C-alpha cells in the first residue's frame, strides 16, 4: 500500500462535496486523511460549462495546508469515507 505521506505531500481522500451558501457557483471539496484527523479544503468556482477540471478521488496536500478535526463525530465520518474511497478508487480516479 502506498504511503499516505511523502515528499509530494500528504495524500488525502475526497470525503465531501458541497455547494457554498455564501457564494454562487462555488463548490467546496473536502479531502481527509484515512484516520480522519486532518482535512484539506479546496474551493472551485464554476465559471462556465466548458471549464473542465476533474475532481479526483485523492490529492496530495502540503502538510501546512491541512487543518485538524476536533469533532469526534466528524472525524469518524471523514475517516470512514476516506477509507471507503481508498478501498474502491485509485487516487487519480475522476469522481
> What's residue 45's pLDDT?
78
> What's residue 6's pLDDT?
54
Residue spans of beta strands (DSSP E) within 25-89: 26-32, 38-45, 58-61, 67-68
The parts of the chain modelled with pLDDT lower than 50 are 1-3
Measured CA to CA in angstroms, residue 50 lies from 41, 54, 60, 74, 75 at distances of: 24, 12, 26, 34, 35
Q: Provide the residue ranges of all domains of the chain, joining segments of one domain with +.
A: 5-88
pLDDT in tens, 83-92: 999 999 999 9
**CA–CA dist 71, 33 (Å, integer):** 15
Measured CA to CA in angstroms, residue 90 lies from 8, 35, 48, 67, 93 at distances of: 17, 18, 28, 24, 5
Amino acid at each position: 500500500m502506498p504511503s499516505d505521506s511523502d515528499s509530494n505531500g500528504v495524500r488525502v481522500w475526497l470525503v465531501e462535496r458541497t455547494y457554498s451558501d455564501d457564494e454562487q457557483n462555488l463548490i467546496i471539496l473536502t479531502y481527509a486523511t484515512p484516520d480522519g484527523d486532518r482535512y484539506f479544503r479546496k474551493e472551485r468556482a464554476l465559471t462556465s460549462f466548458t471549464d473542465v477540471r476533474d475532481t479526483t478521488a485523492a490529492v496530495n496536500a502540503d502538510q501546512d495546508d491541512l487543518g485538524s478535526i476536533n469533532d469526534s463525530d466528524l472525524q469518524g465520518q471523514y475517516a470512514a469515507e476516506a477509507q471507503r474511497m481508498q478501498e474502491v478508487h485509485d487516487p487519480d480516479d475522476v469522481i
